[in-house]
Structure 1
Amino acid sequence: MKLFLALPLLLVAVNVEGYSGLPHPLALASSFSQIYHQLDKINLGNCSLVKVFLSLNATNPPLPAPSTNLKLKYVALGRGTQNYTCPSDALSDSKTTIKPQAVGAAATLFDASCIVSSSPALLHEVPAIINDTPLGSLAFMAALVAQGTRSNNLIIGEHYFNIDGEPVFDMGLSGSNSWIATSKIASTPAPKSISGSSGNVPWLKLGYKNGNGIQVSPGHPSIDNHCI
């Protein structure tokens, strides 16, 4: 937020201190230098997760707990598309409501380590905000914020389903060689406290099937789908 407030604050300061509506080049350069110095102190990604505890018992029934020998390595927010198809026997002129069938998903993963380490409650509020924001706009803002602060790339990975229908989480965009292909171990309905405007698919516990350097804990993707 400081990044986007910087330019309006700069223009206000120039108009107050200057003799005209146009800033003097030296004053402008000095102001930008001060702003850049402040932004360079801000870290919005790659925060430590050592003291982070994610409550995974908010569901009914609760999901099985993660293995005790695991350490929390990534907390990410995914923004993308869940793919659904209508059954082959569904007629376009049918007046009967037919539930679409899930056939996969694709999402961009954004670093949420600093959000969860500073305010775990905020982590559950952000999806509702980014749900209505186009992915291209989110990616642009993430790149802009990362360049304007001392944060690393805030886009850290991709989620998709491979040819075998297995959920894959590839963290290669973070500079890591970590990835995992998973299989479902357990599922449970999403908690009512976070099943907001568009609803949520069940929470899942995913188990390791193949990969390198990563295992996963439950998550709650949101959906809003229709047969077309």
Structure 2
Amino acid sequence: MYASTLLVSLLGASTVIAAPTWPTFNWDAAKPDGLETVSEYFNMLASKVELGKSMAEAPVCDLSKAQMAAAPTPLAAPSAGLVLKHVAIGRGTQNYTCDATNATAVPVAVGAVATLFNASCVAATYPDLLGMLPKLALQFNLTEQEDARMGPTNLIISGKHYFTNTTTPFFNLDTTQYQIGEAGCSKDSQTNAPDDAPKGQQGEKAVAWLRLKTHTGSTGNLQEVYRIQTAGGSPPATCQGQPAAFEVQYSAQYWFWEGNSQS
């Protein structure tokens, strides 16, 4: 009983209590498996709720039990001594610029903007559900009114992700509910997403998985950040038909690791 209550509070169908227009499924997305993804999510959720009814107590939200997925060519493991502090689902856009006068030019990445949703307890207790969340999030429109809730889940916002310049990703994980820390980062390494990674709303490939190192002055003892289990976000191969600036919808898991304070 307790386990099913936890599941519903974390991942329950918000459409039961929300207005029918929120969250809004993206019917225009060129993703034939969109409805199947949503159906698979709710079927998995329902099966876990049913199983939870027979459990005497809810699973413990113990982040030490959470395990990051590995890419076909794995990223390096977190540095020795670091411990997992937070797991979030990021939902937003990867941003690009183009030389509109040159159809063969390659789009240039200039950053990203995303809302981060707290998925720490999901990572610790229901890793299979966690694996579905980036793909699920991409099925729903992202607007100023809707970014307070990630699709049909009840995950709570734990922060924002943006770039302070074209090369510096920044994570603000200090909110009224959570004080996890803030960190500017630099890319340490990257690896291609798996070939079967979820594509974007218009069929875009999944962006690379990343390992980031935080900058001096970061707070909350944040040391390393991993972007994994990406969905969508990649630009077209060339600038043909593209405006001078454009966005590509994406979602991903972000894993935040802490250790000794930076000096």
TM-score normalized by the length of structure 2: 0.58
- Quickly say closer, same or farther: Cα 1:64–1:2, change in 2 above 3 A: closer
- Indicate yes or no: 2:212 matched with 1:206: yes
Alpha-carbon distance in structure 2 between the residues aligned to 1:141 and 1:159: 16
CA separation of 1:2/1:77 partners in 2, compared to 1, >3 Å: closer, same or farther?
closer
**2:178 aligns with one of 170, 175, 182:** 175
1:217 has 2:225 as partner: yes
Q: What's the CA shift for 1:140?
A: 4.2
Residue aligning to 1:185 = 188
Question: What is the aligned partner in structure 2 of residue 159 from structure 1?
Answer: 161
Is residue 158–residue 171 contact of structure 1 (8 Å, CA) maintained in 2? yes
- Cross-structure match for 2:52: none
Shift in CA distance, 193/118, structure 1 to aligned 2, threshold 3 Å: farther
Letter in 2 for 1:223: G
> Relative to structure 1, is the Cα distance of residues 2 and 200 closer, same or farther in structure 2, using a 3 angstrom cutoff?
closer
The CA RMSD measured in Å over matched residues stands at 3.0
Larger Rg: 1
- 1:84-117 per-position Cα deviation (integer Å, ceiling 9, x unaligned): 0003xx42xx6x4443110111111001113222
Unaligned runs of 5+ in 1: 8-42, 147-152
- Offset, 1:217: 3.4
> Which amino acid is the alignment partner of residue 73 of structure 1?
K
Which structure shows the bigger proportion of residues in helix conformation?
Answer: 1
Q: Runs of 5+ in structure 2 lacking a partner?
A: 1-11, 19-57, 237-241, 244-263
Q: Provide the rounded CA distance (Å) in 1 between the counterparts of 2:180 and 2:123.
A: 23
Aligned residues: 178
1:68 correspondence with 2:80: yes
**TM-score of the aligned structures, taking structure 1 as reference length:** 0.66
Whose strand proportion is higher, 1 or 2? 2
Cα pair distance change 1:145/1:121, threshold 3 Å: closer
Aligned counterparts of 2:149 and 2:208: Cα–Cα separation in 1: 29
Corresponding residue for residue 66 of structure 2: 52
Alpha-carbon spacing, 1:164–1:225, altered in 2? closer, same or farther (3 Å):
closer
Q: In structure 2, how many angstroms separate the alpha carbons of the residues matched to 1:164 and 1:223?
A: 16
